[in-house]
Each structure stands twice: as C-alpha cells, then as structure tokens.
Structure 1
Amino acid sequence: MKQSRLMSLVESVANVIVGYGVAVVTQILIFPIFGLHTTLAQKLKMGAVFTVVSIARSFALRRLFEEIRSRTHHRS
C-alpha cells in the first residue's frame, strides 16, 4: 500500500522533530564527558544546525537514489 502525501509529510516532520530532540539530548549528556560546557541556548542552536544539515543530507541521498532507481528502471 502506498503512503499518502499527507502521511509522508507527517512522517517527515516527526522525523525532524525527533532528530532535533535527540541531537539536543545527546549534547546535554555527552558534552560534559568531553569537558565541553555550553548553555542550553547554545545547545538548541547547535541542534538546529545539525537538523538542517541532516535534512540536506537526507534530501541529497533521496534524490541520488531516485536517480539511480530511475536509470535502472528505464534500462529494464
């Protein structure tokens, strides 16, 4: 069964929100182990940067694999 566009959007938004939360919580837990001390505001900003980079990476890989799939499909 194919996923609807709305559910694809909901999944993407949920993925971004969860990823952002994971990035911030990971910083809170890991930074002190390495002697890094930042404010919560700094952690939130860094989490936002990591999230944007992750979205760009995910998009680029998705388009690359779609191009590969498209070329493979057309050869068949």
Structure 2
Amino acid sequence: MKYMQTKTQSLIESSANVTIGYFVALAAQMIVFPLYEIEVSINQNIQIGLIFTAVSIARSYLLRRFFNHYHHHRSAN
C-alpha cells in the first residue's frame, strides 16, 4: 500500500522545513557576511533572511506546480 501524507502532515512538514531553512540561512548570513566585509545589523539580517525565505517559498511552489502540470499532462497522453 502506498502511503500518502494528510494535508495536515504536509502543512506541518512544509512549515518545519521553512522555519529550519530560515534559521539556517540567518546563521549562514551571520557567518558569511563578515567574511566579505558586509556589515549589517541583526534587524537587517532578519529582514534579508525573510526576503530570501519568501523567494525560496515562491520558487518551491512554482517548481512543484510546473512538475505537477508536466506529469499530469504526460500521464494523460
């Protein structure tokens, strides 16, 4: 039997992924920016992380929809 996630499980997994990704990105910025002599405040770091997170969510969504559309049309033919 094939296991399918419930919508709630998918939401929880997606939320955890985005939250963990945000904090990983924030930590990476705090390490990498000084190496390139980019000086930003913690508030700016938080804002940059949020922008990159929004871009990542949009990218992930668009790719998922593209592949869903592609596979749907491919299986229909």
Q: Which band: TM-score by shorter chain? A: over 0.9
Structure 1 gaps of 5+ residues are: none
Superposition CA RMSD, Å: 0.5
Q: AA paired with 2:26?
A: V
Matching of residue 45 in structure 1 with residue 47 in structure 2: yes
TM-score normalised by length of structure 1: 0.96
**Per the alignment, in what secondary structure is the counterpart of residue 14 of structure 2?**
helix
Structure 2 gaps of 5+ residues are: none
Given the alignment, which residue of 18, 25, 28 partners 2:27? 25
Q: Which runs of 4+ in 1 moved over 4 A?
A: none
**Identity over aligned pairs, percent:** 39
TM-score normalised by length of structure 2: 0.95
Matching of residue 15 in structure 1 with residue 17 in structure 2: yes
